[in-house]
Amino acid sequence: MTGQEKIPRWLRPAWYGLLAAAAWMLAEGMRDDFNFFPAMEAWSMMLGYMGFCLIACTLVIGPVKQWLPARWTVYLLALRRDIGIMGGLAAILHVILVVILFEGEPQLFFAGSQEMMAGWLGLFFWDTPDGGLEPNMSMVGIANYMGAIAILGLLALFATSSDRAERFLGGGTWKRLHMYNPALFLLVTFHGLIYVQLIKGEPHTYRDILWMTAAVLLIRIAAYTTTVIKRTLQQRSPD
């Protein structure tokens, strides 16, 4: 997501101030809903949802920009990159908190937890009687594998969300890498759906996750359709 260096230097403190304020408001807005969970678990869930929502935003800014004045493009691209970085950070913090939660006292209700390995490895493996490891292929285990693939992808996007990384990789490779963003979003959708349906169930429901994903898909399909129609019309009347 490029364009950051084109934002005037004098505007940057206000820009980052606004982004920080928006992130704070998002967290504050969610807090009441998650108050009844222990603090660390509440933060882990809030950060998961923040990551999910922010990735959703990065996926609609690109399509929406074609409907907005061209002079906004620089700002929208910079916004997309910064929101992507914030979403990546939220997802990383979510995973760190989950690992801490599972390393310490088991604080989450986890279906079948009596058969799981102690510690964070239990998110991914069953304990076998001979002391070995067996991949946890329950729905929750699959949700964790999806989360793990998503976080690896998001880390790659996070690490390459700078002009320097784009120059280093070359525009084509960089673009191909960042085109995986929608696939990562879908993985996170399924990850969240499994958790919300099988384990948590509140304060959000599967409907909230599906609404967000459907809105992203619809906006992207609408933008794609608009582009195709515009191109077809241009080809028919080139002047």
**Rounded distance between C-alpha atoms, residue 78 and residue 189, angstroms:** 25
- Using CB under 6 A as the binding rule, whether residue 181 contacts ligand HEM is answered as no
Instruction: Using CB under 6 A, pick the residue from 30, 150, 157, 219 that binds ligand HEM.
Output: 150
The crossing angle, in degrees rounded to 10, of helices 181-195 and 206-236 is: 160
* Helix boundaries (H) for 66-131: 73-103
Length of the chain equals 239
- Using CB under 6 A as the binding rule, whether residue 86 contacts ligand HEM is answered as no
Instruction: Using CB under 6 A, pick the residue from 122, 195, 213, 219 that binds ligand HEM.
Output: 195
- Interface characters, 1-40, with ligand HEM (x: CB under 6 A): ----------------------------------------
Instruction: Return the bridge partners of 125, or none.
Output: 135
Residues near ligand HEM (CB under 6 A), total: 27
Question: What kind and span of H or E run contains 125?
Answer: strand 125-127
**Rounded distance between C-alpha atoms, residue 162 and residue 47, angstroms:** 23
- Using CB under 6 A as the binding rule, whether residue 147 contacts ligand HEM is answered as yes
**In angstroms, what is the C-alpha Rg of the chain?**
20
Instruction: Using CB under 6 A, pick the residue from 136, 181, 204, 213 that binds ligand HEM.
Output: 204
CB 108 within 8 A of CB 195: no
CB of 186 to ligand HEM, least distance (A): 11
- Interface characters, 208-227, with ligand HEM (x: CB under 6 A): --------------------
Contacts of 101 (CB under 8 A, 6+ apart): 40, 41, 44, 107, 108
Query: Of the listed pieces 19-27, 140-148, 169-177, 231-239, which binds ligand HEM according to CB under 6 A?
Result: 140-148
Structure tokens at 176: 């191909």
- Using CB under 6 A as the binding rule, whether residue 191 contacts ligand HEM is answered as yes
CB of 219 to ligand HEM, least distance (A): 19
Query: Of the listed pieces 7-15, 23-31, 56-64, 146-154, which binds ligand HEM according to CB under 6 A?
Result: 146-154
Q: Which of residues 92-121 bind ligand HEM (CB under 6 A)?
A: 94-95, 98, 101, 108
**Rounded distance between C-alpha atoms, residue 231 and residue 210, angstroms:** 31
CB of 64 to ligand HEM, least distance (A): 21
Instruction: Using CB under 6 A, pick the residue from 19, 139, 148, 210 that binds ligand HEM.
Output: 148
**Rounded distance between C-alpha atoms, residue 64 and residue 52, angstroms:** 19
**Rounded distance between C-alpha atoms, residue 84 and residue 158, angstroms:** 7
Report helix, strand or coil for 126.
Answer: strand
Using CB under 6 A as the criterion, which residues of the chain lie in contact with ligand HEM when the complex forms?
41, 44-45, 48-49, 51-52, 91, 94-95, 98, 101, 108, 123, 144, 147-148, 150-151, 154, 188, 191-192, 195-196, 200, 204
